[in-house]
Chains A and B, each alone.
Chain A
Amino acid sequence: MIQKDLVEIRFHGRGGQGAVTAANILVAAAWKSGLWGQAFPFFGAERRGAPVVAFARLSRRRVRLHSMIRHPDVVVILDPKLPKLVNVLEGLKSGGKVVINSASKSGLGKGEYRVYCVDATKIALDLGLVLAGWPLANTSMLGALAKVLNLPIADVKEAIVEYMGKKKGEVNARAAERAYVEVSECE
């Protein structure tokens, strides 16, 4: 379980990849573990395929803040190619954590942070989570994030099913569970 009073998380994805959905499900899952959460998108001229960000805050108390997150504790990267396009490490707190959708190496280099890799694209492809040709990695990344945040995976699975409905939810919950098991620290 999260020990800190406030944990701030930034999701990097592409428009249509489900970063906002992941942030919303995370907050619903955290509620089941007794945590108060807030999820919000960054709205600009977003369109399908363009880099987007979404945010979440988790706390043991009601979150009063409504300003942007400038110094996240955790960064989640849904698409392995995004670090080449945007500065995914911008503002990341010293000692922060990065969870990236990547088969082996993150390609982020060394710094005052710990990196965790999971091949969420492969999990999505294995389970047939593909929409319009895109593997949907968001729920797998949520499972990996749960591991890094020390959130119970059962709560995440339940929240996924509640959000997506039984049919879509169950396969996405399986993806989350697999990523929860497979995620590991990487370079």
Chain B
Amino acid sequence: MKLVVMHLTGNYAVAWAVKLSRVKVVSAYPITPQTTIVEKISEFIESGMMDAKIVRVESEHSALATVFGAASSGVRAFTATSSHGLMYMYEMVWWSAGARVPIVMAIVTRTIGAPWNIWSDHSDFMSQRDTGWLMIFAEHNQEVLDSVIQLFRITEDPRVYLPGMIALDAFILSHTTEPVDVPDQSLVDSFLPSRRQPYTFKSGDPITMGNLPSNPRDNMKMRWDVHESLVAAKKVIMEVDREWGELTGRSYGGLIECYRCSDAKYFIIGVGAWVGDMREAVDMLRSEGYEVGLIKLRFVRPFPAEELAEVVRGGKGAIVFDRSVSAGSAGPLYLDTVAHLGALNVGVPVKNVIAGIAGVDVTYNDIAGVVRSFIEEIESKGVVSNYVEWYFG
């Protein structure tokens, strides 16, 4: 096993992973903070380091349509976007999942206007959670690179056959340089089999796909099958992460990762780059005697409901940090968490903290402070008074 450490931004880690995955077609429309992913891929292609085609388009809608077309014809295809670009792409996001075409897309999470703002929150990514795509969120640049490669393997598994999106926080990862082990091409080749997909468009062999079904029940069955395949993907995700771990020494727990959970009574739940700060907060609170652990949700779809319940069951409370909000209700991670924990009879108080919206900086001190008050309230009163709290810092 040959590993080479490079200093890469999150965006360059994506580009390297796309290159190592032998992607053949890339199409994208520039948007901050995604742009340097596709710039780097263009450089790889121009310098002969990567054998692929870039297709220039006039919009994100066309970018995903192009990638969908290329992938339908049998090649590995990739695109990346952020924020308003993803909003513009939305129709094709649904279509790609419904048509069961494996594609990988990177979302460099950026808040959505108005007002204009380029910083990170998770509104763009989280707003895609009903589409039928696999959704994974990376904590650091090494996990970005590893997850892109894993995602190609997962999306092209015959038990899954769905597109997948990987999120990384704007600037906090996308433009932050960290040491990254870049695996050897032969290692990635041995991990990623050649392209598999449920059907292929070929010239001279016409088929039709996506036409009006004669019976809406068939349509409903297709949607049911998307759901069933996402649930079935859990097993694939675990297998793939384990195998990647055997090859590289790096695995991420598959669906969720627990930090200092084994004897914890209270659990912090979150996704994205601030999970790193949550680890520091856990260490800080532990040193003060609080029995707290961290559950990092790696996948948002499929939602790791049973996996989460298994950890939280028997605990005294959980606190979910959302970097986006379903306005008029609560944070999307919280909503999924309380629905599934409740249905699975995990009867612990669960609090939601909405923070870091529009790029507001949140440090481990902020996180520790909020968690400390939460634990104190449960210990003294047994309930949470303000179960959806907006934290402005």
Q: Do A and B come from one complex?
A: yes
B248 at the interface (CB under 8 A from A): no
Q: Give the CA-CA distance A63 to B276 in the complex, in Å.
A: 8
State which of A40, A41, A66 has its C-beta within 8 Å of the C-beta of B277: A66
B171 at the interface (CB under 8 A from A): yes
Nearest B residue to A23 via CB reads: B177
Is A67 touching B179 in the complex (CB atoms < 8 A)?
A: no
> What A residues does B361 contact at CB under 8 A?
67-68
> What A residues does B173 contact at CB under 8 A?
66
A39 at the interface (CB under 8 A from B): yes
Most buried by A among B5, B175, B177: B177
**Per-residue contact bits, chain A 64-108, to B (CB 8 Å; 1 contact, 0 not):** 111110100000000000000000000000000000000000000
- Asked, given contacts A27-B7, A40-B171, whether A64 binds B176 with beta carbons under 8 Å apart, the answer is no
> What A residues does B177 contact at CB under 8 A?
23-24, 27, 37-40
Nearest B residue to A31 via CB reads: B179
If over half of A's interface residues share one DSSP class (helix, strand or loop), that class is named, otherwise mixed; here it is mixed
A103 to B: closest C-beta gap in Å:
32
B191 at the interface (CB under 8 A from A): no
State which of B172, B274, B279 has its C-beta within 8 Å of the C-beta of A40: B172
Q: Give the CA-CA distance A34 to B7 in the complex, in Å.
A: 14
A28 at the interface (CB under 8 A from B): yes
Q: Give the CA-CA distance A70 to B363 in the complex, in Å.
A: 9
> What A residues does B179 contact at CB under 8 A?
27, 31, 36-37
Is A43 touching B119 in the complex (CB atoms < 8 A)?
A: yes
B122-146 interface (Cβ within 8 A of A) = 140
Nearest A residue to B356 via CB reads: A67
Nearest A residue to B366 via CB reads: A67
State which of A36, A40, A64, A67 has its C-beta within 8 Å of the C-beta of B363: A67
Is B276 touching A65 in the complex (CB atoms < 8 A)?
A: yes
State which of B33, B119, B171, B280 has its C-beta within 8 Å of the C-beta of A65: B280
A-B contact count (CB 8 A): 63
Is B364 touching A65 in the complex (CB atoms < 8 A)?
A: yes
Size band of the interface chain B makes with A: 20 to 34
Q: Give the CA-CA distance A38 to B7 in the complex, in Å.
A: 9
Nearest B residue to A43 via CB reads: B171
B119 to A: closest C-beta gap in Å:
7
- Asked, given contacts A38-B176, A38-B177, whether A43 binds B33 with beta carbons under 8 Å apart, the answer is yes
A39 to B: closest C-beta gap in Å:
4
If over half of B's interface residues share one DSSP class (helix, strand or loop), that class is named, otherwise mixed; here it is loop
> What A residues does B363 contact at CB under 8 A?
65, 67-68, 70
B253-292 interface (Cβ within 8 A of A) = 273-274, 276-277, 279-280
Q: How many residues of A contact B (CB 8 A)?
A: 19
Q: Give the CA-CA distance A23 to B276 in the complex, in Å.
A: 21
Q: Give the CA-CA distance A31 to B7 in the complex, in Å.
A: 9
> What B residues does A31 contact at CB under 8 A?
5, 7, 179
> What B residues does A36 contact at CB under 8 A?
179
Nearest A residue to B278 via CB reads: A64
> What B residues does A38 contact at CB under 8 A?
176-178
Q: Give the CA-CA distance A65 to B173 in the complex, in Å.
A: 11
State which of A41, A63, A70 has its C-beta within 8 Å of the C-beta of B171: A41
> What B residues does A68 contact at CB under 8 A?
361, 363
Q: Give the CA-CA distance A68 to B274 in the complex, in Å.
A: 11
State which of B7, B140, B276 has its C-beta within 8 Å of the C-beta of A28: B7
Is B169 touching A43 in the complex (CB atoms < 8 A)?
A: no
Is A67 touching B274 in the complex (CB atoms < 8 A)?
A: yes
Is A66 touching B172 in the complex (CB atoms < 8 A)?
A: yes
Q: Give the CA-CA distance A179 to B184 in the complex, in Å.
A: 38
Q: Give the CA-CA distance A68 to B359 in the complex, in Å.
A: 11
A10-66 interface (Cβ within 8 A of B) = 23-24, 27-28, 31, 36-41, 43, 63-66
Q: Give the CA-CA distance A41 to B172 in the complex, in Å.
A: 9
A22 to B: closest C-beta gap in Å:
12
Is A43 touching B7 in the complex (CB atoms < 8 A)?
A: no
A→B interface (CB under 8 Å): 23-24, 27-28, 31, 36-41, 43, 63-68, 70
Q: A24-B177, A64-B279, A66-B140 are in contact. List 4 more A-B contacts (CB 8 A).
A: A23-B177, A40-B177, A64-B277, A66-B173
21 pairs, A vs B, C-beta closer than 8 Å? A24-B7, A31-B5, A37-B7, A37-B177, A39-B176, A39-B177, A40-B177, A41-B175, A43-B119, A43-B171, A43-B175, A63-B276, A64-B276, A64-B279, A64-B280, A65-B276, A65-B280, A65-B364, A66-B173, A67-B277, A67-B361
